Amino acid sequence: MEKLKIPIKLTHQATIPLYQQLANQLRALIKQQYWQIDERLPAIRQLADDLKINPVTVISAYRSLMMTGEVISRRGSGYYVHQLPQGIVEANQHRVEESHQLPAAERMIDFASYSLHPERVAVAEIKQAVDHVLADAGGEAFTVNDPMGLFSLRQTIRDYLNHNQIVTSPDLIQITSGSQQAIDLCARTLLHPGDIVLMQNPSYSGAIDAFRASGPHIIGISPEPSEEFIATLEAKIKLFQPKLLYLMSNMANPTGFSLTDQQKHQIYGLAHHYDLWIIEDDYGVDVSGDWQPTTIKMFDRDERVIYLRSLSRILAAGIRLGYMVLPQGMVERIVNAKQIADLSTSGLAQRIFEQCLTSQSWQRYLHRSQMVYQRQYRLVNQLLKESQLPITWQAVDHCSWFWLKLSVDSSAKDVCQQARQAGVLVENGDRYFVDQQPDQYLRLSLAPAKDSQIEVGVERLIEIISRLD
């Protein structure tokens, strides 16, 4: 039964946003066991009416609690108190709070975010595409009549995928507002509380958050594609009987590891034999130069692999765009979930990207970007080698980030804090772990950093690690 007269008091004149005040007070009540584990929180409309606030404020507060793992959403039912180890909740909360307090980008050397530095954005090429789209389509450029996305864009993506040995059709391609939405739609459609998800550990933190919000148990598997990988994976499948396997098969985020062609084929065989879904997130390929690796989706003969990809990563983070290649039996459910989430992805963004895909100037821009990433990666790799610090990493061709492991005596949290004070933003790797957070890893992204500041930033980071070790 939902409780009446919840002891919450919001201050409209405060500097803290209303949704954040509400989330903080809900968090405090959860800690005081005002609601028990698995107990339903007040309905959005009811709480908004009781507190005389906009329902959007309640939604934002609940989503904030979902990001820390304290609350989960159950499709068609509402929001429920969720139980996670307190250490994980606190680490997630700290990460969210830090993201709200980032200094102005121009004062910092940023190795932490996922956004392209403004200097990297293809402004001229995007402007050319926008001009062409508006001249050609006029007001129609802002509309989308098909909830699956612009049909001509899906045809273009189909042609690209077929060229890369993924045989599909436009009717199986769903355009999304970024790959994060694609993962979230899969979680909401496929998973229920108590289901088992297997995923590489460490793995993409956005996927971890999306899965946790649906309430399954998440089991980590080693990300390193060693000779024992397939045997270990099969043993965990037998033991836990998962419903879903989430994998980054090529250039996994954050480790950079790629599975071999044989392992990809074997993984598909395991999914077929044990009857489970695979979400294949092909994250790193778009900035990988001429390297076009195989995928698990290539082997999909009984439609159990959901293939997804981000387009924002090569276009601009502010233009949220991605796509999914779906099994036939999932299309209707995903389309329905997509319409509930945001009706449709921006028609203008879709048309811009379609124009870019078919433009020679865009292909030249991609080639230039790939060359820049390769040059920067080699520079940072050399600087790290020459530092002779007690850190380890796996050098990965075509990669645009580093996954650094500190010595056992070092703390990633301390490094991040002191780097911040020195004007360098670097990401603590704890957020990429499913459960145990070792405080020993850093993710160093090249995409958000200004080209001329990369060497300076890495040298500052080396000095800090050396001092703390």
CATH code: domain of residue 170: 3.40.640.10
Helix or strand run (H / E) with residue 415: helix 412-421
The domain in which residue 422 lies consists of 103-121+373-468
Q: Evaluate the CA torsion angle 167, 173, 175, 176 in order and state its sign.
A: negative
DSSP string across 32-46: TTSS-TTPBPPPHHH
β-strand 305-310 against 322-325: which pairing, if any?
antiparallel
Q: Are residues 382 and 458 in the same domain?
A: yes
User: How many Å apart are CA 203 and CA 147, to the nearest integer?
Assistant: 30
Residue 448 lies in a domain: yes
Same domain for 290 and 401, yes or no, is no
Residue 446 tokens, joined: 């090249």
Burial category of 456 from C-beta neighbours within 10 Å (exposed 0-12, middle 13-18, buried 19 and up): middle
Residues 258 and 200 in one domain: yes
The token duo for 398 is: 């075509």
Residue ranges of E strands in 172-315: 173-176, 196-200, 217-221, 244-247, 277-281, 305-310
Q: Specify the number of domains making up the chain.
A: 3
Q: Are residues 116 and 55 in the same domain?
A: no
Instruction: In whole angstroms, give the CA distance from residue 24 to residue 20.
Output: 6
Query: How many Cβ atoms are within 10 Å of 54's Cβ, its own excluded?
Result: 12
Structure tokens at 309: 């990809």
Cross-strand bridge partners of residue 280: 247, 307
User: What is the full per-residue pLDDT of the chain (469 aa) written as tens digits?
Assistant: 445 578 898 987 767 778 889 999 999 998 888 998 889 999 988 898 889 887 778 887 888 888 777 888 887 788 999 876 555 555 555 555 554 454 444 568 999 988 888 888 889 889 999 999 999 999 999 988 799 999 999 999 999 899 888 999 999 999 999 899 999 999 999 999 999 999 999 999 999 999 998 899 999 998 888 889 999 999 999 999 999 999 999 999 999 999 999 999 999 999 999 999 999 999 876 654 556 789 999 999 999 999 999 888 777 777 889 999 999 999 999 999 998 888 789 999 999 999 988 888 888 888 888 888 889 999 999 999 988 889 999 998 878 999 999 998 889 999 999 999 999 999 999 999 998 778 999 999 998 998 889 999 999 999 889 888 6
Q: Are residues 269 and 184 in the same domain?
A: yes
Q: What are phi and psi of 23, to 5 degrees?
A: -60, -40
Contact at 8 Å (CB) between 273 and 300? no
Specify whether the CB–CB gap between 403 and 163 falls below 8 A: no
Identify whether 229 is part of a domain: yes
CA–CA separation, 225 and 259 (whole Å): 6
166 falls within a domain: yes
Q: Residue 289 gets which letter from DSSP?
A: T
Query: CATH number of the domain that 89 lies in?
Result: 1.10.10.10
396 and 317 in a common domain: no
Return the structure tokens found at 379: 């520079």
- Same domain for 171 and 91, yes or no, is no
Cβ atoms < 10 Å from Cβ of 378: 12
Asked, for residue 8, whether it belongs to a domain, the answer is: no
Question: Are β-strands 322-325 and 173-176 bridged in parallel, bridged antiparallel, or unpaired?
Answer: antiparallel
Q: What is the DSSP letter of 116?
A: P
Residues 300 and 396 in one domain: no
End of a domain among 325, 345, 365?
345
What is the model's pTM? Answer: 0.79
- The answer to the question of residue 62 being in a domain is yes
Report yes or no: 243 and 216 within 8 Å, Cβ to Cβ.
yes
Tell whether 357 is covered by a domain: no
The answer to whether the CB of 186 falls within 8 A of the CB of 245 is: no
Q: Would strands 441-445 and 277-281 be described as parallel, antiparallel, or unpaired?
A: unpaired
CATH code of the domain covering residue 449: 3.90.1150.10
- Say yes or no: 316 and 422 in one domain: no
Q: Are residues 382 and 455 in the same domain?
A: yes
Indicate if 226 and 201 belong to the same structural domain: yes
Residue 202 sits at the vertex; the CA angle it makes with 196 and 207, to the nearest 5 degrees, is 55
**Does residue 4 lie in a domain region?**
no
Residues 329 and 250 in one domain: yes
Tell whether 356 is covered by a domain. no
